[in-house]
Amino acid sequence: MDMRFPRPDQFVDCSPLLGPRNRGQAAADTAAAAASQVERHGFAVFRIGALRLDEHPSRDIARLLVHELRNALVAAGAPERLEVEIDRAQQTPVAADFAVRSLLPHHDGQHASYLTPSTLDVPGWTPAQRTFSDSGFTTTHVHKLYQGIFVSAPGTGLSATTYYDWLRILADVRASRGGERAGSTPEWLAANLRRCLAARETHGTAYPTLAGMLGVTEEALVTTPLLHCEDLLPQAAVRRFPLLSGLAAGCACGRCAGPVERVFCHAVMLAAGLSWPDFRNRYEIIAPSERFDLLVGNNLTMLHGGFAGGRDRVIEPLCLTLDRPEGAAYEQWLSRAWQRRDRLGSDRPASEQLVAESA
């Protein structure tokens, strides 16, 4: 696979926080630089680990930066009600017979945090459709606009975070599936999400799946969440959909190692005409990090995953959330978030726009 990495300016220097100047101002300036990268490219990495501090002062800096990042994003147009959420630390479970774990693309808290159209762009959409379920989830029951992780222990594997531009994926797949006839990309996604919500009523799934959001209609793929590459499929899903057993036995590329990964390979082949390795080659950005780094990304317009996470990896979620994703400020922010790629192209020379598209 051809690995691609973030742009150099997405790695944010945190050394000003060690200088003689006021730490609060240094944190505000550093967070503002990161907010600019999140607004332009979807995510940024605070290089706290490079400061070579111990764990406790590094965590204190990470939390200070998240609060200042909240202020910077609100100043850039995020809802004033945006709050910092510090969740419990998460270990990295690794399946038997595997040395590392990889996570497929997803939104954090996907039962209540996934990209939807703004009512400014799709007036028929309702805020209630932004909550998929109120049970069966593993994180908190709030709407996560921005997802962040403090790497308190990187573990023994490569333990890299992967990012995927969801706006680009949606536009590409809509075009390849002839979705232009259905209106705009937000309208196309709205129709796909409505089908996912209807399937939820029948099958009780807790999350909208990537396959469903990309317009796949096969119920086995629309209603079966896929996250840990190496895991076995849920037996309840296999009993409900015997097709899954055949899909898990082998995939289009022949290179996927685990049952869940092989089924996901079929799903992206149906949705995008790409095997999972080809999908990764086109869309995946691998963000390396070291101990005590802080990674932050837009949790709605970006998907993220994990590559080769070791057993000892521990992360601490630091997110920016809303209790209720509704109201004028939220709809305006969301409508603008949908336009990120348009803004990225409009403020660059043509030669740089071509490079951005290839990335």
pLDDT higher than 80, residue 338: yes
User: What is the C-alpha separation between 62 and 295, in angstroms, rounded?
Assistant: 10
Among residues 184, 210, 208, 189, the alpha carbon closest in space to that of 198 is found at: 208
pLDDT band at 179 (very low <50, low <70, confident <90, very high): low
Q: For 214-252, how does the pLDDT look when each residue is reduced to its tens digit (9 = 90+)?
A: 999 999 999 999 999 999 999 999 999 999 999 999 998
Q: Which CATH architecture has domain 8-358?
A: 4-Layer Sandwich (3.60)
User: What is the C-alpha separation between 151 and 294, in angstroms, rounded?
Assistant: 6
CA atoms within 13 Å, Cβ hemisphere of 261: 21
Q: What is the DSSP secondary structure assignment for residue 268, as one 8-state letter?
A: H
* Three-state DSSP class for residue 4: coil
Q: CB neighbours (10 Å) of residue 162? A: 19
- 318/96: higher pLDDT: 318
The mean pLDDT of the chain is: 91
Angle among Cα 79, 214, 36 to the nearest 5 degrees reads: 35
In Å, what is the CA distance from 296 to each residue of 10, 38, 44? 10, 8, 6
| For range 9-14, the mean pLDDT | 98
* H helix or E strand, kind and range, residue 336: helix 328-337
| For range 155-183, the mean pLDDT | 88
Q: For 291-312, how does the pLDDT look when each residue is reduced to its tens digit (9 = 90+)?
A: 999 999 999 999 999 998 888 8
pLDDT higher than 80, residue 347: no
Q: For 133-167, how does the pLDDT look when each residue is reduced to its tens digit (9 = 90+)?
A: 876 555 577 999 999 999 999 988 888 999 999 99
SS3 annotation, 269-335: HHHHCCCHHHHHHHHCEEECCCCCCEEEEECCCEEEEEEEECCCCEEEEEEEEECCCCCHHHHHHHH
Q: What is the pLDDT of residue 200?
A: 85
Q: What is the pLDDT of residue 165?
A: 98
Q: What is the pLDDT of residue 135?
A: 65
User: What is the C-alpha separation between 180 and 176, in angstroms, rounded?
Assistant: 9
In the block, residue with structure tokens 């005590």: 292
- Beta-strand relationship, 302-309 and 83-86: unpaired
pLDDT higher than 60, residue 349: no
Share of the chain above pLDDT 90, in %: 74
Q: What is the DSSP secondary structure assignment for residue 345, as one 8-state letter?
A: H
pLDDT higher than 70, residue 27: yes
Q: What is the DSSP secondary structure assignment for residue 228, as one 8-state letter?
A: B
| For range 62-81, the mean pLDDT | 98
Q: What is the pLDDT of residue 345?
A: 65
